Structure 1
Amino acid sequence: MKKSYIPKQHGAWAMLAVPFLSGMFASNPTWSHALLFAGWMLVYLFSYPFLQWIRTKKTKNYKNPMLLYGGLLIPVAAGLIWIEPLIWRWIPLFLPLFIVNCYFARRNRERAFLNDLAAVIQFSLMTFVAYYVGNGLDWWLAAELFALNVLYFTGTVFYVKTIIREKNNVRFYWVSVAYHTVILGVAALLFPKWMWVPLLILLIRAFWSPRTHITVKRCGMLEILYSVFVVATVLIVY
């Protein structure tokens, strides 16, 4: 079935790309980044049916996509390790977070906030890996971009929940607005000048969009535009 091969979490594609692009452009883009992104995308595509299999135990539904993506991942990973022999050292950072995802999948609680947070941190860690592959030297800069990604995507988790699962929860709505207000203040104090601009727009989004009864589809489409704006601002500022 097609749904066994294609992840349903459309917002995850932004989390797949934005940290990677942040780390790549903050260092020195190389052809190795293309192989890294291919491997990273295959890891994500493999993890989707794998987690669904853990949740449902429906081997018949998810065996073929796991074999497909796993089979494609092996030569890509081998090529990447051949080019960047020490890149495997980053894997231990991802494993504990993926175990958290497996735990919540097994208990059919994939929408739990802690599960979402583990995924956000996991995706954001790619900032460091892409920066490493680009032979970046300023690791404080990489850490700053990592923190920015974690703050941004955690805010997205709050916001999307106010549109879907918590759309009638007034308290959760105000928690989302408060969170976006706090990260705007953090950006104004700790991040370079003008980085507060996209975060201000995201605060306005968090405040206004849930009041408009925006559809899930339109919400997803707009999130792509917000992600592009965040990446563009990072490129300009950094």
Structure 2
Amino acid sequence: MSGAVVSTNRSQAKAASTRPERSTRSNTKQKSRRSQGWMPNQHGAWFMLFIPPLMGLILQPSWAALPLLITWWAGYFTYFAITIWVKGRLRPKHLPPVLTYGAITALAGIAALITQWQLIAWLPIFAPIIAVAVYETIKRRERSLVSGWSTVLAAAMMLPTVASVSTNGTPAAVSADLWWATAWFALYFGGSIYYVKTLIRDFGNHARFIQSVGFHAAVFIGAIALAVAQPHTWPVAVVGALLAARSYAVPRIAQRHGKRIPPKYVGMIDGLVTVFVVVAAFAAFGS
């Protein structure tokens, strides 16, 4: 009996000792997958990556938009993989994600054009935006404001692009409300570039704080002007006030405590705020 107990205890101790090792191996494997370019590690980009195109699909539904969505998402994964490849000094071990996602992007893009060839009309809009993003990556400035804005504009422009598939696939087919929704998301995600920097990379930088607050104040004023001209857009003005208040209050609270807010909590706050941004967009521009 005692021998069985000792054996059981040894087995349990052995199992307990191997759990952290397995967990460590799992975490190391996931980290390796991200570091090699297979999985984007910029978690804040997920909202930007999915919300505008999906909103375009919801507002103007069309199964024909599916290849375009795959092109966009695979294209972003390709962009991230290229970033890792360039940062890794073009090492061969970082090349497989570039080739894999690049091939998926190309095939999906061809399928999208076969489905609706008029989508090529969007190329003059996307080409310079993507060129800027790639250039900043080559220069290893993927965290710059220019790089951030290029990805924001590309993401926001996916809303009208996806919506256009339900008609003739050109910019001319997009309604004024959808263009306003596009601007709303571009300003929100663009403002987040400054706001997040005040909490993490540029924490305590007064100039960046003023830049962020000033930008959000300008967005709020613009939203009020829009609500005066088009009263049905008042939800955007309300959320604009929330964004302006957040840009001031959250960094101030962090500075008062003398330490950065952990990124996961920044993400949680952003997730909640993004819900309000999306609801405001549907309420103001979804009719």
Does 2:219 correspond to 1:149?
A: no
Separation (CA, whole Å) in 1 of partners of 2:182 and 2:167: 16
Q: Structure 1 residues 47-56 or 112-121, which shifts more?
A: 47-56
Query: What is the CA RMSD across the aligned residues, in angstroms?
Result: 1.9
Does 2:117 correspond to 1:72?
A: no
Separation (CA, whole Å) in 2 of partners of 1:222 and 1:39: 30
Q: How does 1:6-155 map to 2 (within 5 A)?
A: 6-26=39-59, 28-135=60-167, 137-155=173-191
Larger Rg: 2
Is the Cα–Cα contact under 8 Å of residues 212 and 247 in structure 2 kept in the other structure? yes
Q: Give the secondary-structure state (helix, strand or coil) at the position aligned to 2:117.
A: coil
Is the Cα–Cα contact under 8 Å of residues 125 and 146 in structure 1 kept in the other structure? yes
User: What does the per-residue CA deviation read over 1:50-100, in whole Å, with 9 as the maximum and x for residues that have no partner?
Assistant: 133234333323211112212322332232222112212212322212221
* Larger RCO, structure (CA 8 Å, separation 6 or more): 1
Separation (CA, whole Å) in 1 of partners of 2:205 and 2:98: 37
Q: Structure 1 residues 161-170 or 126-135, which shifts more?
A: 126-135
Counterpart of 1:210 in structure 2 is: 251
Shift of 1:44: 0.5
Q: Which amino acid aligns with 2:225?
A: L
User: What does the per-residue CA deviation read over 1:109-151, in whole Å, with 9 as the maximum and x for residues that have no partner?
Assistant: 2222122122211211112211211328453223212211221
Structure 2 unaligned residues grouped into runs of 5+: 1-31, 228-232, 255-260
Q: 1:197 aligns with which of 234, 238, 242?
A: 238
TM-score by length of 1: 0.90
Q: How does 1:169-208 map to 2 (within 5 A)?
A: 169-191=205-227, 192-208=233-249
Separation (CA, whole Å) in 2 of partners of 1:21 and 1:184: 25
Is the Cα–Cα contact under 8 Å of residues 164 and 174 in structure 2 kept in the other structure? no
Structure 1 unaligned residues grouped into runs of 5+: none
Q: 1:159 aligns with which of 195, 210, 221?
A: 195
TM-score by length of 2: 0.76
